[in-house]
Structure 1
């Protein structure tokens, strides 16, 4: 793949030129079967970009995408960037108020939102969170609805444009303007802002340039040996680096077919692997564990799989062995990254042994360096390190030192072969099913419950999810607060993966000399 490509519009145009008639997307989820070539995908993206231009979206404007993995997400993201804008992905597990905060903090002028999804009308949720007036609470001028689940009926105080209707608003002049903007996008323009929770309890927007995003995707795809013959089942969410930068963007660079999955289930994944002859399947360890343990696994032909990439939590050696023996995978890789590095810091290689793959995160990607700093903290620098945090010079300076080293907050060690092993966390973060969870954010929410004096959230082991949250709470004297009260509040105010799975009431917390709660003792 040519290293001259430094932006997503350039990558997409190159794909359409290199593989015009090869299948780019096979969106074959229940009730639909949409297949586009790379030339057709470019056309869809151009028309979406032109529709945004026609509605007044300018170069540099930010557009939030709140939707599951379907072809629409890909068209929207690449379309926003084609028009010179910046993509702001929102977690599909977010509540309306959490997504509203992203829209407000980024001053987004447009949002692309799924209609009814998993029993919830997302536009209605968003409007309710804004107190009934999105125009009064945000800078939004355009709301684009992706038709899902057939129950899309909610309206908002802003005009809601159907996805296909936006594309049909493209005119010759807006198409020409979109093409001109795509020509003008450089590697130094901002491609996206992905939000990651912080230990202060306030999420941080990671600002990434096109060249940083492309460099990460190129390194990941090269390491996996991807080609235009591969068919990539993407179960990792597009709002996450794993589904976006190590997902559909890799396919655009290497010509592999994108097979999106909106809602994960082992059976649906195996059905798609068999039907679509998928060859590449990355995911958190829990994905492979559920497939290996699926009672109906023998009913599916999974022999097309050749490559799996996992990480995001501890990977048992026996899991790697079973992925090879029971799923017939030629190559199993593990990797380590953060949103602040586009998702890419280190990776194992195809010729590494099972022990190395399972017990280390591998060596630094080309273009990245690692070293161990004070307190054993893992430091990294290189071409995939973010520009900084959105509107937050203080946290940016704290994260990236004057020599360009990003302080990861993880504790680790590097062996004689350069393999990194993560041993602990400086921060209190834990990982649930592949998603980073930051207790401070949850503790901020729990503090709003009447009867809560103080709380501490920790990660506790869970066979399926790796770790899940447990909330320890000091109750106000005389309060009748129950565990169910806390769980109900969390269900209303927090995304599913952030919600504590259990609650324990305690008299007090262990503390150090400065009064800070000793979470190591709680664990």
Structure 2
């Protein structure tokens, strides 16, 4: 495998479409069964949609917002935008009022919106209210939009199964491929999860995206070991779910068709798909790993074993390593960001699983520099805690429509994460600086206290959030989910923490939650990370503060 740094995404789509065109490229599973897009299908259908976009007036460099879930149509539309020379932007909706997608389109000066008009409860129900149709057509409409003045048309993409109306509507006689793009051109605008408080529009070039594929496969140790496929359920529009493995190495992508609807037993369905497709490399979130492993009867009866599980997006917990030797040979923990792609990683297997330590993120990937700095941006000593800053060839080309203090003049990027490096150069990430709790004169990073509280028998999961306080600025609240049958009280939990933090902890960290709130479930973002801001809001409302 090569880096392909002199090529573009259209180059790679064309290469794979012409190399063994009948080989499956994307395999979607749903309650209707298995749907396959071959390499040839991807090139053929995407180039047809590219032609349709040019008829809508899309020019090279124009931004096209795609508000579709994971489905075959999403692949065709995303790649069609690239083949037309446009910039694809993820049409993400995290806020209940949908203002995030509207604001993103406005900032990016979006020209075309691709959307499913049959999804009344999705993006269509939000976006259709903000524009006026000027000229209506079967497959698109010209519009006027006061909220997003640059938005000129809406392309309809009906994803209902099993009809696949959109794919069948693309005429076979008209194809278009723009082969004049440069590797340094912006190809994709990814949207962040919003965990830092607002969604940012992260621009990445063709070169950066292809290089990310190379780095990730090398970090996972997948240099020819795996036959052909990778399973990942991450959204196609996110940097962690974008089809870079296919573009870079031609790997088949196996995933769930989210346009069909929610599957009742998602973990059972996921494991059945992994077995059916003989997947050896799977990208799973931490809660998917733990949930599948707990259903021992389900996976033991299948006699299927993974080579490697890739995981990331949140701190690695020890429970994620229990499947090693049984469900999988190895777990590869990845630390990265939308702005940088892969930063650090660590592969755990039978031989080194005892090396696990809380918050371990691993060693820097090839071509990535990592430093820990203090508030003056001066590098700190080994084992000293500070902010993590990173430099990489994959650094974003910037936030569309925003300038931001995260970018330092000398090429370093401020991640906003707090951590330290040990003597080996292994990175440990303790949380986001934005999650810091200002407790009087002291600053508490929640992960530290969460680790203490997690040792309490009967607690399944816990998160520490700030509660407004007129004197201390923040009081500390423990949001707790109990194990089934556990009968812990608020006093039990507070007394446990008092015992834990009193053991050799300096007075600066000797803090105990004032409040304890019990939850059956925690609010999460689409990235599967807990929504700390929403959780803090719920706790504050319960306490009537």
TM range (shorter): 0.7 to 0.9
Shift of 1:304: 4.8
* Structure with larger Rg: 2
Deviation by residue 1:248-291 (Cα, 9 ceiling, x = unmatched): 22123222211121257201101211222122211221111121
1:158 corresponds to which residue?
none
Contact 1:68 1:92 survives alignment (8 Å):
no
Secondary structure, in 3 states, of the residue corresponding to 2:333? strand
Deviation by residue 1:353-411 (Cα, 9 ceiling, x = unmatched): 22446642111111211111114111110111111111223x1xx11111101011111
1:72 corresponds to which residue?
73
Secondary structure, in 3 states, of the residue corresponding to 2:240? helix
* TM-score (ref. length: structure 2): 0.71
Aligned residue pairs, count: 440
Instruction: Tell me, in whole angstroms, the C-alpha distance in 1 between the residues paired with 2:16 and 2:95.
Output: 33
Go from structure 1 to structure 2 and tell me whether the alpha carbon gap of 1:302 and 1:45 turns closer, same or farther (over 3 Å shift). farther
- The structure 1 residue matched to 2:540, chosen from 504, 509, 512, is 504
Contact 1:45 1:76 survives alignment (8 Å):
yes
1:380 corresponds to which residue?
390
1:164 corresponds to which residue?
167
Shift of 1:103: 2.0
* TM-score (ref. length: structure 1): 0.74
Does 1:257 find its partner at 2:269? no
Shift of 1:97: 3.3
Instruction: Tell me, in whole angstroms, the C-alpha distance in 1 between the residues paired with 2:111 and 2:80.
Output: 15
Instruction: Tell me, in whole angstroms, the C-alpha distance in 2 between the residues paired with 1:426 and 1:4.
Output: 36
2:330 corresponds to which residue?
331
Instruction: Tell me, in whole angstroms, the C-alpha distance in 2 between the residues paired with 1:31 and 1:165.
Output: 18
Shift of 1:189: 0.6
Instruction: Tell me, in whole angstroms, the C-alpha distance in 1 between the residues paired with 2:320 and 2:19.
Output: 38
2:113 corresponds to which residue?
111
1:347 corresponds to which residue?
345
Does 1:222 find its partner at 2:218? yes
Instruction: Tell me, in whole angstroms, the C-alpha distance in 2 between the residues paired with 1:110 and 1:349.
Output: 42
Shift of 1:460: 4.4
Secondary structure, in 3 states, of the residue corresponding to 1:344? strand
Instruction: Tell me, in whole angstroms, the C-alpha distance in 2 between the residues paired with 1:382 and 1:456.
Output: 38
Go from structure 1 to structure 2 and tell me whether the alpha carbon gap of 1:423 and 1:98 turns closer, same or farther (over 3 Å shift). closer
Contact 2:70 2:236 survives alignment (8 Å):
yes
- The structure 2 residue matched to 1:424, chosen from 425, 431, 434, is 431
Q: How does 1:190-339 map to 2 (within 5 A)?
A: 190-196=186-192, 201-224=197-220, 225=222, 227=224, 229-244=227-242, 248-261=243-256, 262=258, 265-294=266-295, 297-298=298-299, 301=302, 303-320=304-321, 322-327=322-327, 329-339=328-338
Unaligned stretches of 5+ residues in structure 2: 135-142, 376-385, 437-445, 448-462, 484-516, 518-523
Instruction: Tell me, in whole angstroms, the C-alpha distance in 1 between the residues paired with 2:319 and 2:356.
Output: 11
Structure ranking higher in helix proportion: 1
Go from structure 1 to structure 2 and tell me whether the alpha carbon gap of 1:57 and 1:226 turns closer, same or farther (over 3 Å shift). farther
Go from structure 1 to structure 2 and tell me whether the alpha carbon gap of 1:402 and 1:93 turns closer, same or farther (over 3 Å shift). closer
2:89 corresponds to which residue?
88
Secondary structure, in 3 states, of the residue corresponding to 2:389? strand
Instruction: Tell me, in whole angstroms, the C-alpha distance in 2 between the residues paired with 1:54 and 1:9.
Output: 19
Shift of 1:505: 4.4
Instruction: Tell me, in whole angstroms, the C-alpha distance in 1 between the residues paired with 2:299 and 2:162.
Output: 35
1:512 corresponds to which residue?
none
Secondary structure, in 3 states, of the residue corresponding to 2:107? helix
Q: How does 1:123-138 map to 2 (within 5 A)?
A: 123-128=124-129, 135-137=144-146, 138=148
Contact 1:292 1:326 survives alignment (8 Å):
no
Q: Calculate the aligned-residue CA RMSD, in Å.
A: 3.8
Of 122-131 and 59-68, the range deviating more from structure 2: 122-131
2:452 corresponds to which residue?
none
Go from structure 1 to structure 2 and tell me whether the alpha carbon gap of 1:356 and 1:241 turns closer, same or farther (over 3 Å shift). farther
